Amino acid sequence: MELRSTQKPEFVPKSWYNIVPDLPEKIPPYLLPDGTIAKREMFEVLFSKELVRQEFSEERFIKIPDELVEYYLQVGRPTPLLRARNLEKHLGTSARIYFKYEGVLPAGSHKFNTAIAQAFFNKREGVERLSTETGAGQWGSALALAGSLMGIRVRVFMVRASYYQKPLRRVLMETYGAEVYPSPSTITSFGRKLLGENPEHPGSLGIAISEAIEDVVNSGGAAKYSLGSVLNHVLLHQTIIGLEAIKQLEEIGVGVEDVAFVVGAVGGGSNYAGLSYPFMMHRLQGKTNARFIAVEPRAVPSMTKGRYEYDYGDTAGLTPLLKMHTLGHDFVPPPIHAGGLRYHGVAPSLSILVNHRLVEPVAYGQREVFEAGVLFARLQGIVPAPESAHAVKAVIDIARGIRGGEKPVILFNLSGHGLLDLKGYEEFLKNSLPDT
Ligand SMILES: *Cc1c(COP(=O)(O)O)cnc(C)c1O
């Protein structure tokens, strides 16, 4: 069995896969606080027209503009599909473990896949500036680079605690030319109100989203908002991961129906949807019996413990209400190192798949996740982002449960590298990592 596939340019798909028409039930409409349905025009205040069209599209495949395919090629897509042979040997498993490695993208994670698409469509519609939030800085740095490539300005509201504790990602965003403000900031009225109450306010992702939206609404149309996860159009853009993986597996003799487990970490759900939805398409058509395992932190258990109900995407309640698994928009997550997994909700489409038991959620504690990350680094060389290490931990447990003789294929998404997250690894190695 081959250790890796090649990275042929023609493996980069020409269309994204939209799961919306294939879901076992319709996504409940987005609502306004008074219970009425949020109109498309409202979304067009925040997002580019083409992105809104994609958000509500019922087409199964949506064409990727040729120019955008070129950007994907330029940054090195298709990303590698590799076999974790040393991990298999170490575990003594007969399972075959493959992973898609998105950490090779500039800025270090899968987030660039949608960042460049969003910057592309906004630029084409004459938008001058994008405004967004970032937690630890993965999303902000991906969008900062996308803005730089497309010639569109980027303003990032970075969760205040991370702004001061993780200066390296801020420097990366500034290197790519973005303006970065600690959130709560003094440039929005919501930020000023919170700072007035507590000048040392640590901030949160929900607060930063509220500030970015206020900034866009006050821009008079010059600026639009960009979101790094949760919404349909964001998940759509990420499906290039799974579409590439299917072709790469085929190249080395593994058919879609041979994949037994599709595993990934879930914050808002975009990298996991990106890898898994093209496989889920085959599952929904009855062509495979693969199991879909979605991994979250025990400290932010939106899928395993959250309620399925309408909730806001942000803290201030400026976004429409989405029906999703949520811990509540005022949930304050503990300060775990996997910053990208600290969001209170998960994507509406993924929530439906969880409800129908097509996707099985599992939750892990921080220490066992870092232990898995360290093991993976020592065996395979790649230091996983703390987010991705959640997937690694689940894969190890799945492989350990395989009986001798069976040779199932386990496929997971290594959504990013952890080279800017070594602080968490340091704490783990010094035995001072809190086990939340
Ligand atoms: C942001 C991030 C995640 C979580 O976000 P999703 O939208 O659920 O993918 C996972 N891994 C990495 C490396 C991230 O940067």
Mean pLDDT, 10 residues at a time, the chain of 436 residues: 90 98 97 92 93 97 98 97 98 97 97 98 98 93 98 96 88 97 96 95 87 95 95 98 98 96 97 98 95 97 97 86 95 85 94 98 97 98 98 98 90 97 95 88
Give the per-residue pLDDT at 87: 98
Residue 179 and residue 259 in one domain: no
Which of 79, 343, 349, 387 has the most ligand 1 atoms within 8 A of CB, as the residue to mutate? 387
Q: Which residues, 6+ apart, have CB-to-CB distance to 95 below 8 Å?
A: 88, 398, 399, 402, 406, 407, 408, 409, 410
| Residue 67 in domain | yes
Residue 246 and residue 291 in one domain: yes
Give the per-residue pLDDT at 202: 86
Which of 110, 227, 237 has the most ligand 1 atoms within 8 A of CB, as the residue to mutate? 110
Residue 320 and residue 405 in one domain: yes
| Residue 262 in domain | yes
Q: Which atom of ligand 1 is nearest to the CA of 135?
A: 1
Residue 244 phi/psi, 5-degree rounding, is: -65, -45
Residue 327 and residue 398 in one domain: yes
Residue 251 and residue 148 in one domain: no
Residue 148 and residue 278 in one domain: no
| Residue 19 in domain | no
Give the per-residue pLDDT at 204: 82
| Residue 49 in domain | no
Give, as one character, the DSSP assignment of residue 223: E
- Looking at 228, 255, 290, the residue that finishes a domain is 228
Burial class (CB in 10 A: 0-12, 13-18, 19+), 129: middle
Distance 154 CA to ligand 1 centre (A): 20
Helix/strand/coil (H/E/C) assignment for every residue in 109-172: ECCHHHHHHHHHHHHHCCCCEEEEEECCCHHHHHHHHHHHHHCCEEEEEEEHHHHHHCHHHHHH
Nearest residue by C-alpha to atom 15 in ligand 1: 138
Residue 77 and residue 135 in one domain: no
Which value, in Å, is the radius of gyration of the alpha carbons in the chain? 20
Distance 49 CA to ligand 1 centre (A): 25
| Residue 44 in domain | no
Nearest residue by C-alpha to atom 13 in ligand 1: 416
Q: In total, how many domains does the chain have?
A: 2
CATH number at residue 174: 3.40.50.1100
Residue 260 and residue 408 in one domain: yes
Which of 229, 364, 392 has the most ligand 1 atoms within 8 A of CB, as the residue to mutate? 229
Residue 238 and residue 217 in one domain: no
Which of 162, 238, 270 has the most ligand 1 atoms within 8 A of CB, as the residue to mutate? 270
Give the per-residue pLDDT at 1: 62
Residue 198 phi/psi, 5-degree rounding, is: -155, 100
Q: Tell me the C-alpha distance between 273 and 267, whole Å.
A: 11
Residue 378 and residue 316 in one domain: yes
Nearest residue by C-alpha to atom 14 in ligand 1: 340
Q: Which atom of ligand 1 is nearest to the CA of 102?
A: 13
**Half-sphere exposure of residue 66: CA atoms within 13 angstroms, side-chain side:** 0
Distance 387 CA to ligand 1 centre (A): 6
Token duo for residue 315: 């803290």
Task: Give SS3 for 102.
Answer: helix
Nearest residue by C-alpha to atom 1 in ligand 1: 340
| Residue 364 in domain | yes
Residue 93 and residue 138 in one domain: no
Position 2: which residue type? E
Q: Tell me the C-alpha distance between 134 and 193, whole Å.
A: 20
Position 416: which residue type? G
Nearest residue by C-alpha to atom 7 in ligand 1: 270
Give the per-residue pLDDT at 94: 95
- Looking at 228, 244, 265, the residue that finishes a domain is 228
| Residue 143 in domain | yes
CB 371 within 8 A of CB 428: yes
Token duo for residue 414: 């290594």
Beta strands 321-326 and 307-312 are: antiparallel
Q: Report residues whose beta carbon is within 6 angstroms of any ligand 1 atom.
A: 109, 111, 138, 229, 265-272, 340-341, 385, 387-388, 415-416
- For residue 165, the enclosing domain spans 109-228
- Looking at 203, 228, 253, the residue that finishes a domain is 228
Nearest residue by C-alpha to atom 3 in ligand 1: 340
Reported pTM: 0.97
CB 22 within 8 A of CB 60: yes
Q: Tell me the C-alpha distance between 354 and 337, whole Å.
A: 25
| Residue 335 in domain | yes
Q: Which residues, 6+ apart, have CB-to-CB distance to 404 below 8 Å?
A: 94
Give the per-residue pLDDT at 270: 98
- The helix (H) or strand (E) run that includes residue 409 is strand 409-414
Distances (CA, A) of 403 to 17, 95, 406: 34, 9, 6
Distance 372 CA to ligand 1 centre (A): 17
Distance 228 CA to ligand 1 centre (A): 9
Residue 117 and residue 101 in one domain: no
Nearest residue by C-alpha to atom 2 in ligand 1: 340
Distance 143 CA to ligand 1 centre (A): 14
Distance 386 CA to ligand 1 centre (A): 10
Instruction: Tell whether the torsion through CA atoms of 234, 349, 296 and 248 is positive or negative.
Output: negative
